[in-house]
Structure 1
Amino acid sequence: MKLRSIELALPNAAEAAAFLTDVWGMALAETRDRTIYLRGSGTFPYLLALAESPDGYVRSTTFTCTPDRLDQLKHGVAAAGLPATPTVSQDPGGGHGIVVELAEGELLRFLADTSEVEPIEGADLPVKLTHIVFNSADAESTGTLVEAALGFRVSDRTKGMVFVRCNESHHSTAFARAGFASLNHIAFEMADMDAVMRGIGRLRDHGLVPAWGPGRHGPGANVFAYFIAPFGPVIEFSTAVEKVPDDYQAGAPEDWTWPEGRIDQWGMSDKDFDGLREAEARFRHRREWEPAPL
């Protein structure tokens, strides 16, 4: 299974797309029915969909999988009693599958028989999404739920998050212990550390500085730099997330502690806690469909 894309609704989608292509570094894939699709350099047809809307919310987060894995998901979702519906994708890449609503409203779409595209050149383009993180009122319960219903695996637990994987990557999603449910941030996988640092420099050229970073996380060990996007959400340059084996032992919060005054492995940058907290609350989840038998 692979994390492919996230689909957002928001005001002034064209302005957001202009920032993401002209400054952040993405490429325009196509526009369909007032929805703008943006891609990276890799083989996914798009990474981010922006639909025009009077207000901002998360429409779905999309994973691709095999037909056999999709069947397993249907059984797991039905057994857990989660709201879900069959779907046929009208987005680039096509495919068919299901959309599932988790206990706190998170909307995950799983598609099989999707198509991919030829990669494109661009040293400063994101390659793909590396993870999507959600805020949660009860991150532990959500982690347990996705293990039981979706077959995901909890990789690590910290004081702040429950990290979850769906393949060998340490985490494709995570659930932050925030006390409310919303989009926490979107992380874009860059080709290497130099691409992350060039991205930071590019945003500085446009008057934007990291809300946190550069740094290197503990769980996943990925290099990061977080920014508060002009159109609302928190977005991250990331690279080199750890690959873990099937028998990887999940860490507990006491396994991930830092010396006083540090909040990552490097300890070289400050964090805009208040600004990030406000941005992380802006995009809530909104279901646009009615549950139906799978």
Structure 2
Amino acid sequence: MKLRSIELALPDPAAAATFMTRIWGMAEAETKGDTHYLRGSGPFPYLVAFEKAQDEFVRSTTFVCTSEELEALKARVTAAGWTASPTTSDDLGGGHGLLVELPEGTILRFLVGAAEVAPIAGRDLPVKLTHVVFNAADAEACGHAVEDILGFRVSDRTKGMVFVRCNDSHHSTAFARAGFASLNHVAFEMEDIDAVMRGIGRLRDHAMVPAWGPGRHGPGANVYAYFIAPFGPVIEFSTAVEKVPEDYQAGAPEDWTWPPNRIDQWGISDKDFDGLRQAEERFRFRRDWQAAPL
């Protein structure tokens, strides 16, 4: 299973797409009506969709999987009584599968048969989404839920997050111990550390400084730089997320501590706690579909 894309609704999708292509560094994939699709250099037809709506919310976060994985998901979701529905994708790449609403309202979409596209060149294009992190009222409960029902695995627990994987990448998502449910941030996998640093420089050229970073995380060991996008959410340049074996032992909060005044492995990053918190509260989840038997 792989994380593919996130679909966001917001009042001005064209402005969001302009920022993400001209400054952040994505490529235009296609515009269908008022929905803008943006891609990276890899084989997915798009990584982010911006859909026009009166309010801002997360429509879905999309994973691609095999037919066997989808059938197992349907059985477990049905047995658990979770809100879900079969779906056929109208987004780029097509495919069919299911939409599922997690206990705190997070909406995930799982697709099979979604088409891929030829990779494109561009050293400063993101390759893919490396993770999408959600805020949670009860992060522990969310972690247990996606392990039991979706078949994901908890990789690590810290004071701030429960990290979850769906393949050998340390985390494709995580649940932040925020006390509320919303989008925490979207992370874009860059080709290497130089691409991350060039991205920071590019945004500095437009008078934007990192809200957190550059630095190197503990869990996942990825290099990062977070920014607050002009259209609302927190977005991250990231690279070199750790690959973990099947028998990887999940760490506990006491395994991930730093010396005083440090918030990452390198100890050089500053963090705009207040600004990030405000941005993390903006994009909530909204179900605009009816539950139906799988």
Q: TM-score range by the shorter chain?
A: over 0.9
Aligned twin of 2:72: 72
* Counterpart for residue 148 of structure 2: 148
Which SS does the other structure have where 1:135 is aligned?
strand
Normalised to the residue count of structure 2, the TM-score between the two structures is 1.00
1:162-215, Cα deviation, whole Å (9 max, x unpaired): 000000000000000000000000000000000000000000000000000000
What one-letter code is carried by the residue in structure 2 that aligns with 1:111?
L
Q: Could you tell me which residue of structure 1 aligns to residue 111 of structure 2?
A: 111
2-side partners of 1:33 and 1:148: how far apart?
39
Structure 2 residue matching 1:98: 3-state secondary structure: strand
For 2:178, the equivalent position in structure 1 comes to 178
Cα separation, 1, equivalents of 2:159 and 2:33: 42
1:32 aligned partner: 32
Distance 2:262 2:79 in 1: 43
TM superposition shift of 1:11: 1.1
Q: Percent identity?
A: 75
List 4+ stretches of structure 1 deviating above 6 A. Answer: none
Name the structure 2 match of 1:168.
Answer: 168
The reply on whether 1:227 has 2:227 as its aligned counterpart is: yes
**2:72 maps to 1:54:** no
**Matching of residues 275-290 of structure 1 within 5 Å:** 275-290=275-290
Distance 2:93 2:69 in 1: 18
Residue identity matched to 1:41: S
- Equivalent residue of 2:71, what SS? helix
| Distance in 2 between residues matched to 1:277 and 1:206, nearest whole Å | 23
Residues 209-259 of structure 1: CA distance to partner in whole angstroms, max 9, x if unpaired? Answer: 000000000000000000000000000000000000000000000000000
CA distance in 2, matches of 1:61, 1:19: 21
- The answer for the alignment partner of 1:125 in structure 2 is 125
**How far apart, CA to CA, are the structure 1 residues paired with 2:55 and 2:267?**
37
Q: Secondary structure at the match of 1:59?
A: strand
Instruction: Show the counterpart of 1:22.
Output: 22
The code of the aligned residue for 1:88 comes to: T
Match of 1:158 in 2: 158
One-letter identity of the residue aligned with 2:205: D
Q: Supply the distance in 1 between the matched residues of 2:53 and 2:170 (Cα, whole angstroms).
A: 34
Aligned residue in 1 for 2:92 = 92
Secondary structure of 2:187's match? Answer: strand
Structure 1 CA distance for aligned equivalents of residues 17 and 91 of structure 2: 17
Deviations 1:121-171 (A, max 9, x none): 100000000000000000000000000100000000000000000000000
Question: Aligned with 1:224: secondary structure?
Answer: strand
Task: Note the C-alpha offset of 1:33.
Answer: 2.6
Which AA in structure 2 matches 1:59? Answer: R
Shift of residue 32, structure 1, vs aligned partner: 1.1
Match of 2:242 in 1: 242
Partner AA of 2:68 in structure 1: D
Q: CA deviation at 1:54?
A: 1.2
Aligned counterparts of 2:148 and 2:124: Cα–Cα separation in 1: 38
Question: SS in structure 2 opposite 1:276?
Answer: helix
Aligned to 2:201: 201
Gaps of 5+ in 2: none
CA distance in 1, matches of 2:139, 2:78: 21
Distance 1:48 1:189 in 2: 13
Q: Secondary structure at the match of 1:227?
A: strand
Aligned partners of 2:267, 2:185: CA distance in 1, in Å? 21
CA distance in 2, matches of 1:7, 1:151: 23
CA–CA distance in structure 2, aligned partners of residues 101 and 230 of structure 1: 28
Whichever residue aligns with residue 35 of structure 1, its letter is T
**1: distance between equivalents of 2:63 and 2:251?**
25
Q: Which amino acid aligns with 2:14?
A: A
Q: SS in structure 2 opposite 1:247? A: coil
Give 1:240's aligned amino acid. Answer: A
| Local SS of the residue matching 2:275 | helix
1:273 alignment counterpart: 273
Stretch deviating more after TM superposition (244-253 or 75-84):
75-84
- Please give the alpha-carbon distance, in whole angstroms, between the structure 1 residues aligned to 2:225 and 2:64: 26
Structure 1 stretches of 5 or more lacking a match?
none
